[in-house]
Amino acid sequence: MTANPPPQATPSRTSDDERWMTRALQLAAKGEGSVEPNPMVGCVIVKDGQVVGEGYHAKFGGPHAERAAFASVADKQAIAGATWYVTLEPCCHTGKTPPCTDIILQSAPARVVVAMRDPFPKVDGGGLRLLSAAGIQTDCGILESDAQNLNQPYLIRLQQKRPWVIAKWAMTLDGKIATKERHSQWISGPESRADVHTTRGRCDAVIVGGGTASKDDPTLTARPPGPRIPTRIVISKSGRLKLESKLVQTIDEGPVWLFTAADGNVINALADAGVTICPIPGNSPTEDLQSALIKCGEAGMTNVLVEGGGELLANFFAADLIDECHVYIAPKLVGGTGALGPIGGDGLAKIPSQGQFEYVRFETFGPDLKLVAKRKR
């Protein structure tokens, strides 16, 4: 890990600094679903109170935000003495692209303002230190919490070696995902279901349990396709996935992984059909999920969407592995003590004294309300 950068003065936060960094964060968000496993980054170049260039990291393997912003400048010579606003510490190493610190130094800036330090081991303060050593005023921490919120999945993958877990379900006003007869299609409307496909197309994987794979026989593809082709994942200790299932029959439309502790002829036949078999310990649901998510992290996955069923969501909840919830609430009532709720299992014995999640967004899709909540960490 790189040593800490030299001590810096507390950034002189101004309304202009926050204004331009807000714009840089807006640009960064445009890369969602296309840049992973890289972070989303935006950059704005300002001189004499005017934007002279801006850009964002638009695609994994493509130019980083700083280089995109520099490329947008009409008169490259005229930006000497400008201030660069970047949502994440500029990289100082060669990866798929050259170091961003090189292009910043080339432009001879007067100041570089950074929202947050990049904890990636090959950066981790090195970019800030390099710019400071060149005599450039560097301020870090402007809208830092906003930048951290934007790239929470990237940070989780670095810190915990696993992807960000989004749990999704649709329920009625009285909190039911199915009637007492287990009828569930459809609770939400077509507009909500279309939004789910949009989310799938921005995620690296869509995960269900063996029961859901067997009962619902889903395809789990994004329709229409999004910027990513999600891996379809089934987690089943016993290996519940039929050769004739839609998942196996559509193997050409996207990878299918089966996390299982089982072996034998059925598992071998699935492997022969193109399913990637991923062994899990089978000792406990928590250990199995942790093992599966580490495997996903090793494959470079940043965001995964868990679509159920109730027992799988219960296992994620019990293992404290839900980072974000997407809940679609339909204006319907079904009632019944035997009707299913979204998260099964034993649940908690007592109501928590404080909420574990905080709401970050409310949207409407047709008659339905969508709530997005993130885990407080």
Q: What is the DSSP code string of 100-144? A: HHHHHHHT--SEEEESS----TTTTTHHHHHHHHTT-EEEE-TTH
Specify the pLDDT at position 33.
93
CA distance linking residue 342 with residue 344, whole number of Å: 7
Q: Identify residue 254 by its one-letter amino acid code.
A: G
Q: Which residues contact 285 (CB under 8 A, 6 or more apart)?
A: 315, 318, 319
Residue 257, marked binder = no
CA distance linking residue 113 with residue 136, whole number of Å: 10
Domains recognised in the chain with CATH numbers: 15-150 (3.40.140.10), 160-375 (3.40.430.10)
Helix or strand (DSSP H, E) at 26: helix 15-28
Residue 216, marked binder = yes
Active site residue 66: yes
With a threshold of 0.75, does the pTM exceed it?
yes
Q: Which residues contact 336 (CB under 8 A, 6 or more apart)?
A: 176, 179, 180
Residue 299, marked binder = no
Residue 200, marked binder = yes
Q: How far is CA 30 from the centre of its chain?
A: 13
Specify the pLDDT at position 14.
66
Specify the pLDDT at position 128.
95
What tokens were used for 158? 């670095």
What tokens were used for 223? 């329709």
Q: Identify residue 331 by its one-letter amino acid code.
A: P
Residue 100, marked binder = yes
Beta strands in 182-244 (DSSP E): 205-209, 231-235
CA distance linking residue 90 with residue 118, whole number of Å: 8
Q: Which residue ranges in the chain fall short of pLDDT 70?
A: 1-14
Residue 186, marked binder = yes
CB atoms within 10 A of CB 183: 10
Give one DSSP letter per residue of 52-71, joined into a string.
EEEEE--STTS--HHHHHHH
Specify the pLDDT at position 377.
75
Specify the pLDDT at position 2.
39
Specify the pLDDT at position 98.
85
Kindly name the residue from 18, 32, 36, 66 that is annotated as catalytic.
Answer: 66
Give one DSSP letter per residue of 340-363, joined into a string.
BPSS-SS--SS--SS-SEEEEEEE
Specify the pLDDT at position 10.
45
CA distance linking residue 220 with residue 198, whole number of Å: 12
CA distance linking residue 208 with residue 190, whole number of Å: 21
In sequence order, the β-bridge partners of residue 207 are 233, 306
Specify the pLDDT at position 301.
97
